[in-house]
Amino acid sequence: MPDETPERYTVVSADCHAGADLLDYRPYLPSRHHEAFDAWAAAFVHPFADLLAPEATRNWDSDRRVAELEEDGIVAEVVFPNTVPPFFPSASLSAVQPTAEEFELRWAGLQAHNRWMEDFCSRAPGRRAGTFQILLNDVDAAVAEVRRCHAAGLTGGLVLPGAPPGAPVPELWSSVYEPLWAVCAELGVPVNHHAGSASPVLGEEPAARAVFMVETTWFSHRALWHLAFAGVFHRHPGLKLVLTEQGSGWIPGVLDMLDYYHQRLVGAATRAATAESKFGAGLAELMGEGPRAAWERNCFVGASFMRAHEVLLRDRIGLDKIMWGSDFPHDEGTYPFTIEALRTSFADVPYDEVAAMVGGNAARVYGFDLGALDPIAAKVGPLVADVARPLAEPPVGATSPVFAKGSSVRVW
């Protein structure tokens, strides 16, 4: 006799953000950097209003955070960075890779954040998969930090920086990064690539800001085809790449496009007399199977505030690939209207499929123990019956794109 459907969903957010209050990073820095930190902190002006308002404490107040997430139906989270770490001009996710002159202090600042993240996750055992950050300027140092953070229990994995055109580091397809892929595959460390981390600096003119919004997710998508065409997934079949807060509706079409180019270039390589033959030379040996096979074996999507039109594509994306995220505590996130957001996206979807997308897949990728989380969810998780009811109107005051007009029908 089949098991009965649980009364509530166990929700694991695959995309949340946290960080220390500015001065609280100081103890996590080597003492030789304290004087430089004091000078930097005294002159620093927060670039984001939400890091000044009373709401900012949900970035580092562990008890408040657990309470608010539970009120919103969420029992566990993958934690990405949010506040500005020492010696950075802005949030580390969006900062370009440093110059050689900037490297020492920036690297110390990121390592301080990583050590803070270890302590923050330890305050809610089993309920936070903390991510950790690296820089691409020194691959050996990055590999050592992967090993250290993995041993320290940061199960959220590596946050892979972007390398946009013009950056002072090679693009992600470069063979210089092979030791990084190797150590992540060896240790089973997920490689996360979060939106906003790969865009070039465009400036502050109105057009530049608009272009940034149009292009930022596309620049983040590039990690997929860089690693695929570099043969990274062929050499490391156990490597996990997670593309987070980049949408998901783009995936089927991009996979079609990547497979087209793969087949075209591999085929051209066998016709030496053609102009295209040089573009495909060596590609078959480097990649093995095509990009779609790599997606099916190696890749996942952190589908923040997933919209209804994206849910309709779940079979083409891969039901086992999709990990819903709330983007807490950002104002584009679903808090405090997560149940309404789930109703908007998943009302007509079978229970088993919803359960996989809102919790089961993330538990598998990031190592959460559902046996320990299910009893908590049995008290605070969204009711299955509630999620099954379509939402007629968005709640008043909701700011998440999941509630945007037309989000249920538009395909990006």
Mean of pLDDT values over 116-120: 98
Mean pLDDT of all residues in the chain? Answer: 94
Q: What is the pLDDT of residue 348?
A: 93
Residue 360 identity (one-letter amino acid): G
30-44, 87-101, 137-151, 313-327: the lowest-pLDDT one: 87-101
Whether residue 343 is predicted with pLDDT greater than 90 in this model: the reply is yes
pLDDT bracket for residue 45 (50, 70, 90): confident
Each residue's pLDDT tens digit, 278-323: 899 999 999 999 999 999 999 999 999 999 999 999 999 999 999 9
Mean of pLDDT values over 57-72: 97
Q: Which residues pair with 130 in a beta bridge?
A: 79
Each residue's pLDDT tens digit, 356-373: 999 999 999 999 999 999
State the DSSP string of 125-164: TTTEEEEEE--SS-HHHHHHHHHHHHHTT-TTEEEPPP--
> Which candidate, 103, 107, 113, 159, places its Cα nearest to that of 133?
159
Q: What is the pLDDT of residue 3?
A: 64
> Which candidate, 103, 116, 129, places its Cα nearest to that of 22?
116
Report the C-alpha gap between 46 and 187 in whole angstroms: 36
Report the C-alpha gap between 369 and 363 in whole angstroms: 7
Structure-token pair, residue 226: 């860089």
26-35, 201-210, 337-346: the lowest-pLDDT one: 201-210
Q: What is the pLDDT of residue 410?
A: 34
Q: What is the pLDDT of residue 411?
A: 34
Q: What is the pLDDT of residue 53?
A: 77
Mean of pLDDT values over 176-181: 98
Whether residue 407 is predicted with pLDDT greater than 70 in this model: the reply is no
Torsion-angle region of residue 33: left (phi > 0), alpha (psi -120 to 50) or beta?
Answer: alpha
Whether residue 408 is predicted with pLDDT greater than 90 in this model: the reply is no
pLDDT bracket for residue 406 (50, 70, 90): low
Q: What's phi and psi for 130, nearest 5 deg?
A: -80, 135
In the chain the domains, ranked by start, together with CATH numbers, are 11-403 (3.20.20.140)
Q: Which residues pair with 128 in a beta bridge?
A: 77
Mean of pLDDT values over 187-200: 93
Q: What is the pLDDT of residue 51?
A: 77
pLDDT bracket for residue 2 (50, 70, 90): very low
Which range, 165-174, 262-271, 338-347, 398-407, has the best average confidence (pLDDT)?
338-347
45-59, 89-103, 116-130, 162-176: the lowest-pLDDT one: 45-59
Mean of pLDDT values over 179-188: 98
Whether residue 102 is predicted with pLDDT greater than 50 in this model: the reply is yes
Q: CB within 8 A of 257, min separation 6: which ones? A: none
154-163, 171-180, 270-279, 337-346: the lowest-pLDDT one: 270-279
CA atoms within 13 A on the CB side of 272: 0
Whether residue 112 is predicted with pLDDT greater than 90 in this model: the reply is yes
Stretch (H or E) spanning 279: helix 277-280
